[in-house]
Amino acid sequence: MANATKQQIIDTFLDLTLKQSVDKISISKLMQITQLQRETFYYYFDDKYSLVEETLRSLLFNSYVKMLKSESLDEANQAVMNGIINHKNFYQDLLSGQNEYMFKKIYCQVSVDVITDYLKQHYANDISDSVLFAARFYAYAVNTIIYDWIETGMQEPVDKLVAHFRTSIPEILAPYFYTKEGQTI
């Protein structure tokens, strides 16, 4: 039940982003629409920024680690890109002038956390500081490309970007990720 309530708040927040910018969405309005008490919001989130962070985790990264282990890097990246397309207004608003720094900070940290968690969970004994650094480097690089892609209207085909992400992975990271054929990159 608790996860359902948290997800209800996130889903309502996303619905509101279709009509107005993140800045204009108040916690009071959000809770009025969900018909939940304001205290319920603060049970799950510290503030609106933590709501944005959890929304990003929910949209993009909750299934990413699972996909990396059971699917391929391409399929995981494809799912992330499709999630961005499905919530285009939300991402474009977050990259607007007033929200850009907050979005990039949260998005990048969540991305690094997800890749690092994946590596530590599945390859704990084989992870060196160099591998973790390469993971951060790769996450920052991919994120910069994604920011540019969103800001320029998402013109480049997703499959082309996903292929570029795969071919650009640092050599030290490649053995930790899989192709559709089940082989390491």
Domain regions of the chain by residue span: 52-176
Q: Buried b / exposed e across 124-162, counting CB within 10 Å, b at 16+? A: eeeeeeebbebbeebbeebbeebbebbeeebeeebeebb
Q: Which CATH superfamily is domain 52-176 in?
A: Tetracycline Repressor, domain 2 (1.10.357.10)
Percentage of the residues of the chain whose pLDDT score is greater than 90 = 47
178 beta partners: 184
Tokens of 134: 């390469």
User: Cα(68)–Cα(66) distance, rounded to whole angstroms?
Assistant: 5
Residue 179, pLDDT > 70, answer no
Average pLDDT over residues 154-158: 95
pLDDT in tens, 47-75: 998 999 899 888 876 667 667 777 788 88
pLDDT in tens, 12-25: 999 999 899 888 99
User: Cα(15)–Cα(169) distance, rounded to whole angstroms?
Assistant: 35
pTM, full prediction:
0.82
Query: Can you tell me which residue has the tokens 């050599």?
Result: 171
Query: Can you tell me which residue has the tokens 């940290």?
Result: 109
